[in-house]
Chains A and B, each alone.
Chain A
């Protein structure tokens, strides 16, 4: 369909994030703003995504998932670190360079209600990225392209001239996906794309994501807090806690043999939709809630809730360490 794309062979890293940091200043005062603190929303995150795979990014509220996604998309400028996308460090791109990157990397949002302009028809919404990038000069070709996009997400052609309010949540999410696909990106970042949908509709959209990936060879960074959904859709999964990656592993490895105590706690907390299985599952519920990102605990940030905390955990921050190919964990239990 397209011309002269930068070619990345299969299984090559399409995205490599190295020691990414995104810090936000916290200010006080109305007229004269003083910085009184720093929120380290993302504080030293590294991961790789290979072409055609889906990396799931999970973690509780405030762990830094969305901030990571926004930084990769360069909707935010990172405080530090490298974001190597299709061979180029884009961490400090701007202007035309950034516009070019955005052709290749697109976002699907959580809120199927808020993310679509209510005054635009579906045709305008889906075609907007083409217009922004000046790719809509040929009107007939643009029309055909939009029709193709609308069909590819399972919507009917006659829906193109209707407005967002006439659509259900699941349909709006399809529209958001069609728009994200307009520029034929290679990487799609989806931030909680099915969280707002009813279960029966969730399944439709999850299947759509998987079908499109197969058909178009897309790569996904799939951000969600629902671990069952993430296990279903991902090939690998990264777990975040208070701005840091605690573990990254292949999907099944992570669920069957979690190495980090937080990963284990997260798995135990999620109920399995089967009463027989639930009755037999060992139940360890960790106490407490995620501490404020303004004042993360010293040492291992999880130590205030960790059932296996040791003396050194309270002062010494564990580093993410590769324990097997493609498998890394950040915990003193696994640092020799």
Chain B
């Protein structure tokens, strides 16, 4: 067995808000193997982004704080690094791609400068060389006419092209792990397919791992090797993608599967929604957070919180019921 590239253990991240302390990520554990794509799915507010930001220690403090846990990258605990240490990891070993590329690009600088900068900083490569590398990267993310496009500013690029630039920047230092947080949510479907195909192809080429955060079960089905499902700040189920879709074992996961319309679906079949609403993290129910919406709820679910336990080959869930 290969040892995991990233291993997160008992990660707990809290925010102090007007409404009290919110545990956005609550005792979350998962791992990512070298070369694999792990999808993290969940509805808005389930803690996907906070998980990603915690891994890179980008949680704004205040109001946020990583309270507990270990984030082992290549065996080294990122939570124990000093500031220069974690900066060295960001961008160089782990890169992040966000949903809105415009907010991560500087509107006043040319694209070329922004792609070349991390190469210059992290690798200590001379500017002219870094610029050459940037030209090559822009070509690799299939932006036609790379050399001349480098002198353009971000606003002169389309949404899809900006996201390609973000991927180029993420690839600049050949990271071993890329975390993409809803990278295509703002894009049209044909462009979404182009961008995710590109990301997948490039990670395959370089052997880097990918954490793909999304709320789209179609995207997960197409691109993920394994899937972690989050609900109310916790991982409620983890399994290889095919296994998860064929045999979901947590009532929330099976509820999600039954509630999405399928492109190839037999048409006007009635969807089975999950009743109720996602939980308010500031006032979670006792016991299982999914309890109020769960059709399988047992007495014990109201008293104790289910832990994530293995229920099959590479398959774990946090639920008392035997589904």
Contacts and interface: CB of A to CB of B under 8 A. Distances in A.
Given A272-B264, A277-B221, A287-B194, 18 more contacts: A60-B190, A200-B278, A203-B259, A204-B273, A210-B270, A225-B189, A232-B261, A232-B268, A233-B261, A233-B268, A269-B192, A271-B218, A271-B223, A274-B245, A275-B221, A285-B194, A289-B158, A289-B191
Contacts of B160: 289
A202 interface: yes
B43 A199 contact: yes
Given A231-B261, A255-B263, A272-B263, A199 B217 contact: yes
A232 B265 contact: yes
B267 A231 contact: yes
Contacts of A252: 267
A206 B274 CA distance: 12
Given A199-B256, A273-B218, A207 B270 contact: yes
Given A232-B271, A275-B242, A198 B263 contact: no
19 contacts: A198-B43, A198-B215, A201-B273, A201-B277, A202-B259, A225-B188, A228-B265, A232-B261, A233-B268, A269-B193, A271-B222, A272-B263, A272-B264, A274-B262, A275-B221, A276-B246, A277-B221, A278-B221, A285-B190
A251 B267 contact: yes
B306 interface: no
Given A198-B44, A273-B218, A275-B245, A289 B259 contact: no
A70 interface: no
A124 to B, nearest CB: 24
Looking at chain A's contact residues, the main secondary structure is helix
Interface of B: 43-44, 158-161, 188-194, 197, 215-224, 241-242, 245-246, 255-257, 259-265, 267-275, 277-278
A213 to B, nearest CB: 11
A232 B245 contact: no
B263 A231 contact: yes
Contacts of B261: 203, 206, 228-229, 231-233
Nearest to A198: B43
A201 B263 CA distance: 18
The 4 closest A-B pairs by CB, nearest first: A271-B218, A203-B273, A232-B261, A203-B259
Contacts of A289: 158-161, 188, 190-191
Nearest to A277: B264
A168 interface: yes
Contacts, number: 141
Contacts of B221: 271-275, 277-278
Interface size class of A (residues with CB under 8 A): 35 or more
Contacts of A270: 189, 193, 218, 263
A164 interface: no
Nearest to A229: B261
A283 B197 CA distance: 10
A61 interface: yes
A207 B267 CA distance: 13
Nearest to B159: A289
A113 B267 CA distance: 30
A170 interface: yes
B242 A200 contact: no
Nearest to B45: A198
A266 interface: yes
Interface string A17-52: 000000000000000000000000000000000000
A296 to B, nearest CB: 15
A306 interface: no
Contacts of B274: 200, 203
A285 B193 contact: yes
Nearest to A273: B217
A267 interface: yes
A251 B272 CA distance: 21
A266 B263 CA distance: 11
Give the residue among B188, B216, B242 with the most A Cβ atoms within 10 A: B188
A55 to B, nearest CB: 14
B189 A228 contact: no
Given A228-B260, A231-B263, A272-B218, A266 B190 contact: yes
A200 B273 contact: yes
Given A207-B270, A232-B268, A200 B263 contact: no
Contacts of A265: 190
A276 to B, nearest CB: 6
Contacts of B218: 228, 270-273
Contacts of A227: 189, 263
